[in-house]
């Protein structure tokens, strides 16, 4: 007799989603999280009265969350409050232009007429094609199991309307946006989102070329910080008896004859279950928790062939003054070509770029309660992406230099006298991020994802190599992102309910 029906390792969004749905179906479910807070990359920690988001700073494409809470018998607003953020972004472009993109499509058309009249027709085509694609593909592609070719074919047969969008999967992010825009500023405004999926525009999948449009359907910030999302999912799951334990690091899976039957914790204790779900980086799951000796040779080779996603240093800043910003997010962009160049000639070469894209998030714009009265927070991703192992150096030594470079960037773009108004500052390097969440090489999206590592080319949600092992989260289909990992958790729960329900 097992202690639990389901043990979920890791309380990230994928793990919590699967756990809540398993609990709802009547399975006795336990989540084990090594950190002292839940949520993983989508979480919030407090220092000196400031509440900083660990990683994710916004949620766009909220359909998977809507679907999840529906499946849990409620609606999003029963468990968390999502504050709409408008404008979507403020842009500071490489040629010095500053403008904000409103959510409203007609207002955006007026903006395009002003900044890139030659692309108005392309913007209209982008909207026509993109909006129908988003609507028709959302449920079908995001929430359907896609471990195998046969599942992908079944999906196509069940939803023939999506087949016309298939070529988009075979195109690159930049290929898609170049088919609509010529103007360099329009191109950069739709290109940097490929990094939201962890790849440069020349490698990212064409599907993500439409992120810039999906944002016009609304982007949201949860009241109380990004941890509002995992807290809401956890609360819904706990209504069905879900148990969650923090400060519990899982060291190994209990294995017998190629079958998982529980976990061994760092403190040596063992807990058994009918099945185990891992929300961890899939290489960690297979090569550390399961162990190569418990895997067939083909599985060791296959899992070792993936690489980790990019790391991204972050700076958490508490200010005693309102920053000179217009929107929840401000992006300091560069040309589409230099977005690729940063990847190929800096990140891949182990060089930290001196000027690359930066993203400044100002969460106290949406929710002032995150900071003490009159104070503000900036979560700042500066000069991303940056290598995990800078050539000839290491991040612990570079921390001071990096902090100074980030403050200079803030002084240039956000607040000329930022240095005099910083009450709190913390730098999270890729090494710090690895230590905080045990993400190998500080990778922010689990395994790297490009056109060749999506869908059935990603580690499966239902393991083929280990019986009764399931995977969820950013290493599985659709990769990193709040909506995508919630969707991955739903897909994994569907497999479990099919196998055990």
Ligand X SMILES: Cc1cc2nc3c(=O)[nH]c(=O)nc-3n(C[C@H](O)[C@H](O)[C@H](O)COP(=O)(O)OP(=O)(O)OC[C@H]3O[C@@H](n4cnc5c(N)ncnc54)[C@H](O)[C@@H]3O)c2cc1C
Nearer to ligand X, 222 or 318 (CB): 222
Binding-site member from 4, 44, 55, 470 for ligand X (CB under 6 A) = 55
- Among residue numbers 460 through 489, which ones bind ligand X (CB under 6 A)? 473-474, 480-482, 485
Binding-site member from 4, 6, 8, 10 for ligand X (CB under 6 A) = 10
* Strand partners for 253: 263
Binding-site member from 11, 190, 282, 290 for ligand X (CB under 6 A) = 11
Nearer to ligand X, 116 or 219 (CB): 219
The Cα 163–Cα 168 span in angstroms is: 10
Report, in Å, the least distance between residue 408 CB and ligand X: 21
- Among residue numbers 13 through 52, which ones bind ligand X (CB under 6 A)? 13-15, 32-35, 40-42
Name which of 325, 256, 337, 266 is nearest 291 in CA terms.
256
Stretch that binds ligand X, among 3-11, 71-79, 175-183, 253-261 (CB under 6 A): 3-11
Report, in Å, the least distance between residue 472 CB and ligand X: 6
- Among residue numbers 432 through 451, which ones bind ligand X (CB under 6 A)? 437-438, 444-446
Nearer to ligand X, 155 or 438 (CB): 438
Our measurement of the distance from residue 4's CA atom to the centroid of its chain's CA atoms, rounded to an integer in Å, reads: 29
- Residue 343 gets the label, from left (phi > 0), alpha (psi -120 to 50) or beta, of alpha
- Among residue numbers 280 through 309, which ones bind ligand X (CB under 6 A)? 280
Report, in Å, the least distance between residue 501 CB and ligand X: 22
The Cα 419–Cα 300 span in angstroms is: 50
Residue 247, both tokens:
């400060």
Cα angle: 196, vertex 197, 198; to 5 degrees: 90
Binding-site member from 8, 23, 30, 56 for ligand X (CB under 6 A) = 56
Report residue 159: phi and psi, to 5°: -130, 65
The Cα 478–Cα 145 span in angstroms is: 11
Our measurement of the distance from residue 263's CA atom to the centroid of its chain's CA atoms, rounded to an integer in Å, reads: 26
Interface with ligand X includes 57 (CB under 6 A)? yes
Interface with ligand X includes 491 (CB under 6 A)? no
Total residues in contact with ligand X, by rule CB under 6 A: 36
Residue by residue, DSSP assigns 93-120 as -TTS-EEEE-SSHHHHHHHHHHH-GGGH
Nearer to ligand X, 211 or 336 (CB): 211
SS3 call for 387: coil
Residue that is written with structure tokens 């609509």 in the block: 180
Report, in Å, the least distance between residue 428 CB and ligand X: 8
Residue 272, both tokens:
């058994």
Report, in Å, the least distance between residue 208 CB and ligand X: 12
Residue that is written with structure tokens 């940097």 in the block: 192
Report, in Å, the least distance between residue 288 CB and ligand X: 8
Nearer to ligand X, 295 or 482 (CB): 482
Residue by residue, DSSP assigns 200-255 as -TTTSBGGGGGHHHHGGG-EEEETT-TTHHHHHHHHHHHTTT-EEESS--EEEEEE
Report, in Å, the least distance between residue 240 CB and ligand X: 20
Residue in the shown chain whose Cβ atom is closest to ligand X:
12
Report, in Å, the least distance between residue 37 CB and ligand X: 8
Report, in Å, the least distance between residue 159 CB and ligand X: 24
CB 245 within 8 A of CB 11: no
Report, in Å, the least distance between residue 488 CB and ligand X: 7
The Cα 293–Cα 427 span in angstroms is: 39
Q: For the chain, state the CA radius of gyration.
A: 22
Binding-site member from 108, 147, 231, 279 for ligand X (CB under 6 A) = 279
Interface with ligand X includes 330 (CB under 6 A)? no
Mark residues 153-192: x for contact with ligand X by CB under 6 A, - for none: ----------------------------------------
- Among residue numbers 201 through 260, which ones bind ligand X (CB under 6 A)? 249-250
Binding-site member from 4, 8, 12, 317 for ligand X (CB under 6 A) = 12
Q: How far is CA 102 from CA 63, 89, 326, 369, 496, in A?
A: 21, 8, 11, 24, 41
Nearer to ligand X, 201 or 473 (CB): 473
* Strand partners for 275: 6
Nearer to ligand X, 40 or 175 (CB): 40
* Strand partners for 271: 263
Nearer to ligand X, 116 or 146 (CB): 146
Non-local (6+) Cβ contacts of 17 within 8 A are 68, 233, 472, 485, 486, 488, 489, 490, 492, 493
Contacts to ligand X by CB under 6 A: 9-15, 32-35, 40-42, 55-59, 249-250, 279-280, 312, 314, 437-438, 444-446, 473-474, 480-482, 485
């Amino acid at each position: 007799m097992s202690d639990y029906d389901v043990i979920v390792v890791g309380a990230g969004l994928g793990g919590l989603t699967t756990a809540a749905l398993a609990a709802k179906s009547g399975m006795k479910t336990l989540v084990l999280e090594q950190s002292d807070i839940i949520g993983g990359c989508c979480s919030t920690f407090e220092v000196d009265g400031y509440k900083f988001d660990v990683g994710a700073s916004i949620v766009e494409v909220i359909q998977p969350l809507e679907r999840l809470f529906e499946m849990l018998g409620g609606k999003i607003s029963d468990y968390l409050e999502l504050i709409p953020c408008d404008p979507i972004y403020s842009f500071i472009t490489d040629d010095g232009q500053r403008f904000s993109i409103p959510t409203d499509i007609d207002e955006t058309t007026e903006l395009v007429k002003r900044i890139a009249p030659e692309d108005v027709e392309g913007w209209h085509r982008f909207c026509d094609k993109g909006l129908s694609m988003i609507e028709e593909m959302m449920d079908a592609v995001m929430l359907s199991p896609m471990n195998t070719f046969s599942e992908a074919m079944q999906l196509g047969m069940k939803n023939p309307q999506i087949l016309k969008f298939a070529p988009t999967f075979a195109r690159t992010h930049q290929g898609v946006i170049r088919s609509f825009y010529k103007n360099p500023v329009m191109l950069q405004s739709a290109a940097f989102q490929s990094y939201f999926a962890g790849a440069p525009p020349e490698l990212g999948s064409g599907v993500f070329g439409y992120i810039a449009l999906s944002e016009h359907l609304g982007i949201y910030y949860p009241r109380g910080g990004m941890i509002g999302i995992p807290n809401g999912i956890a609360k819904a799951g706990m209504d069905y008896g879900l148990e969650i334990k923090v400060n519990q690091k899982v060291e190994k899976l209990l294995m017998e004859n190629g079958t998982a039957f529980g976990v061994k914790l760092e403190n040596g204790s063992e807990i058994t279950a009918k099945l185990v779900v891992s929300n961890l980086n899939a290489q960690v799951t297979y090569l550390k928790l399961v162990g190569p000796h418990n895997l067939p040779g083909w599985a060791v080779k296959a899992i070792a062939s993936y690489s980790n996603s990019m790391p991204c240093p972050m700076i958490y800043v508490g200010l005693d003054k309102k920053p000179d910003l217009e929107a929840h997010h401000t992006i300091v962009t560069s040309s589409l070509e230099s977005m690729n160049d940063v990847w190929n000639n800096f990140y891949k070469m182990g060089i930290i770029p001196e000027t690359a894209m930066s993203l400044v998030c100002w969460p106290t714009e949406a929710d002032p309660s995150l900071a003490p009265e009159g104070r503000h927070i900036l979560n700042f991703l500066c000069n991303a992406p940056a290598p995990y192992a800078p050539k000839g150096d290491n991040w612990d030594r570079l921390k001071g230099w990096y902090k100074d470079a980030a403050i200079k960037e803030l002084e240039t773009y956000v607040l000329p006298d930022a240095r005099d108004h910083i009450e709190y500052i913390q730098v999270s390097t890729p090494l710090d991020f690895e230590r905080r969440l045990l993400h190998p090489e500080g990778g922010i999206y689990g395994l790297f994802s490009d056109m060749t590592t999506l869908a059935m080319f990603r580690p499966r949600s239902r393991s083929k190599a280990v019986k009764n092992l399931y995977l969820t989260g950013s290493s599985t289909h659709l990769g990193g992102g709040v909506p995508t990992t919630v969707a991955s958790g739903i897909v994994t729960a569907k497999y479990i309910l099919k196998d055990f329900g």
